Chains A and B, each alone.
Chain A
Amino acid sequence: MTIFAENIFLCIAVPMVVSLFFTHGDVRRYVAAFFLGMGVCLIAAYVSGFLGMVAGMEANDTSIFISPMVEEMLKFLTLLFFMVLFMPGDQVLTMLAVSIGTGFATFENSCHILTTGAGSLPYILIRGFSVGIMHVVSMLALAIWLIIAKRLKAFTFSAVVGGLSLAMIFHALYNLLVSEPGITMQIGYLMPSLAAVLLYLLHRKLPSLLEN
């Protein structure tokens, strides 16, 4: 089924943009980052599709090999945009990263549901708990790493490439695992939730870990 992603984007984005005029502080930042996350999802789909076509790949292969790199890179650039422009503190940076990831996942899931239908509740739940969480987890992990690098005064090219690569490989591993039915798919669906639990624990321990 053909969907018109730009139209869906406009439909969801317009009330968000309007709400920016009536909100302030962290709420406004959250909504703005969420909106940008959705925009990034749309652009990433164009870029991945184009690169897939140039490389002569089918849609499935494009989503396994190209999309993780393109999507994580664009999400990171959005976070970097906020970092450079507003120099946010650790808490705000984490919030922005989570918001970009959530916006991305929301828009991707909306388009996916419109394509495949929303008749099966178990599938919708699996989708929400896997892809939905995966985008949040990869962004959160990246943000935590950037906070560590900033605090330790080690915000270098290597540190950025390292964080970005980790986000990309996590995303790529998920896409690869769920690409074929069977045990690998089940592991793939569980992976983001497990990673979310681990990150939650790490995020709680972070302040004490970075003391001194």
Chain B
Amino acid sequence: MHSEQIINLIMACVFFLVLIHAIKLLQSKKHFLTVVFFVFAISCGLLSTLYWGVYDFLRPEDRMPFAANELCECAVFLLYASSLRAVFPKSASFEKKIIPVALFAAANVVLWIAWSGEWVQDILTGLSLGWFLCVITSCLCLTGALSAAEWVGAGTISFLLILGQSLTFFTPELISGALDKGCSALLLAGMLWLVLKAVWALKKEKQVQKGLCLSYASSAWGAVFMYMSGGIAYLIAFTLAVSCYFLMLWAIKEEVAEG
């Protein structure tokens, strides 16, 4: 069993565990729509992971072409966004901060295409992730989860990430390696900051809605981290992204318990 198969297996087990717990939440019938969308997103994630796992098992040498799992990944982001919007119906209102977030998503898509050359799946995934990021931004604004200084910090990190990753295409190997490591450090810092803030909001501050938004934001950042990393950085990103599923589940549980 090689590393990718182990990663897929862990991912499938995590999705299965989260799914079982999320289905139990349906019985309380509080925030039903949020939980239903979350259950559906996790189901899509589970089947998509299984598809990857089976493909990797049957054809370990072949690169997968565009397939249903790509659409499923897009659906996961859209369903997460719907799950969050069900808690915050006013998240449809436009916030100025959405513009730089949309630009960040677009820049990510350009980088993915430059790395992989897969136009269709990268654009589709980028559109759905972009929409998810916009919904999160709107909800973070509504709940006031981030202070003005934190917004500036998040914007700076995002700008530096795009700049750093773009420069890797034009610089010698030694410098591009250093830039890559720098970007991974920034991604890790951003991820840890969001996860810790979400845990703090849920456990210490008892501000469930703020914690919910931050947990979804961690998950979105985890996806960006994974898509932007390779090697050991990818494994770290994977571990943190997996922990985000539990964080989201915890936040939804708290929201359901609050009623």
The interface of chain A, by Cβ under 8 A from chain B, is 55, 57, 61, 64-65, 68-69, 145, 148, 152, 154, 156-159, 161-166, 168-173, 176-177, 179-180, 184, 209, 212
Known A148-B36, A173-B47, A176-B58: A65·B66 in contact at CB below 8 Å = yes
Q: B86 on the interface (CB 8 Å rule)?
A: yes
In contact, A154 and B33 (Cβ under 8 angstroms):
yes
In contact, A168 and B68 (Cβ under 8 angstroms):
yes
Known A65-B66, A172-B68, A173-B50: A166·B33 in contact at CB below 8 Å = no
A88 to B132, CA, bound (A): 32
The interface of chain B, by Cβ under 8 A from chain A, is 26, 29, 32-33, 36-37, 40-41, 43-44, 47-48, 50-51, 54-55, 57-58, 65-69, 71-72, 74-75, 78-79, 81-82, 86
In contact, B65 and A165 (Cβ under 8 angstroms):
no
In contact, A177 and B65 (Cβ under 8 angstroms):
no
Contacts of A164 in B (CB 8 A): 71, 75
Instruction: Return the contact of B78 from the options A69, A152, A157, A176 (Cβ within 8 A).
Output: A157
Q: How far is the CB of A170 from chain B (nearest CB, A)?
A: 6
Instruction: Closest A residue to B40 by CB, please name it.
Output: A162
Contacts of A69 in B (CB 8 A): 67-68, 71
Instruction: Closest B residue to A177 by CB, please name it.
Output: B54
Instruction: Return the contact of B68 from the options A55, A68, A154, A177 (Cβ within 8 A).
Output: A68
In contact, B74 and A165 (Cβ under 8 angstroms):
yes
In contact, A168 and B65 (Cβ under 8 angstroms):
no
In contact, B58 and A180 (Cβ under 8 angstroms):
yes
SS class of chain B's interface: helix, strand, loop or mixed?
A: helix
A65 to B120, CA, bound (A): 14
Contacts of A145 in B (CB 8 A): 40
In contact, B74 and A161 (Cβ under 8 angstroms):
yes
In contact, B71 and A162 (Cβ under 8 angstroms):
no
A170 to B72, CA, bound (A): 10
In contact, B78 and A158 (Cβ under 8 angstroms):
yes
Q: List 10 A-B contacts (CB under 8 A).
A: A57-B65, A68-B68, A145-B40, A159-B79, A161-B78, A166-B43, A168-B68, A168-B71, A172-B51, A212-B29
Q: How far is the CB of A156 from chain B (nearest CB, A)?
A: 6
A57 to B29, CA, bound (A): 47
Contacts of A148 in B (CB 8 A): 36
Contacts of A165 in B (CB 8 A): 44, 68, 71-72, 74-75
Contacts of B43 in A (CB 8 A): 166
The 8 A-B residue pairs with the shortest CB-CB distance, nearest first, are: A165-B75, A172-B68, A158-B78, A168-B68, A158-B82, A169-B47, A65-B67, A165-B72
Contacts of B29 in A (CB 8 A): 212
Q: How far is the CB of A164 from chain B (nearest CB, A)?
A: 8
In contact, A154 and B66 (Cβ under 8 angstroms):
no
Instruction: Closest B residue to A210 by CB, please name it.
Output: B32
Contacts of B33 in A (CB 8 A): 152, 154
Known A177-B54, A184-B58: A172·B40 in contact at CB below 8 Å = no
Q: How far is the CB of B213 from chain A (nearest CB, A)?
A: 18
Instruction: Closest B residue to A153 by CB, please name it.
Output: B33
Q: How far is the CB of B62 from chain A (nearest CB, A)?
A: 9
In contact, A162 and B54 (Cβ under 8 angstroms):
no
Known A173-B47, A173-B50, A184-B58: A162·B78 in contact at CB below 8 Å = yes
In contact, A169 and B72 (Cβ under 8 angstroms):
yes
A89 to B82, CA, bound (A): 25
Instruction: Closest B residue to A61 by CB, please name it.
Output: B65
Contacts of B41 in A (CB 8 A): 162
Q: How far is the CB of A59 from chain B (nearest CB, A)?
A: 15
Instruction: Closest B residue to A69 by CB, please name it.
Output: B68
In contact, A158 and B81 (Cβ under 8 angstroms):
yes
Contacts of B72 in A (CB 8 A): 165-166, 168-169
Instruction: Return the contact of B48 from the options A64, A158, A169 (Cβ within 8 A).
Output: A169
Instruction: Closest A residue to B80 by CB, please name it.
Output: A158
A65 to B51, CA, bound (A): 11
A191 to B79, CA, bound (A): 25
A170 to B69, CA, bound (A): 10
In contact, A55 and B86 (Cβ under 8 angstroms):
no
Q: How far is the CB of B187 from chain A (nearest CB, A)?
A: 27
**Given known contacts A165-B44, A173-B47, what 15 new A-B pairs fall within 8 Å (CB)?**
A65-B68, A69-B71, A152-B36, A158-B79, A162-B40, A162-B82, A164-B71, A165-B75, A166-B40, A166-B43, A166-B44, A166-B47, A169-B44, A172-B69, A176-B51
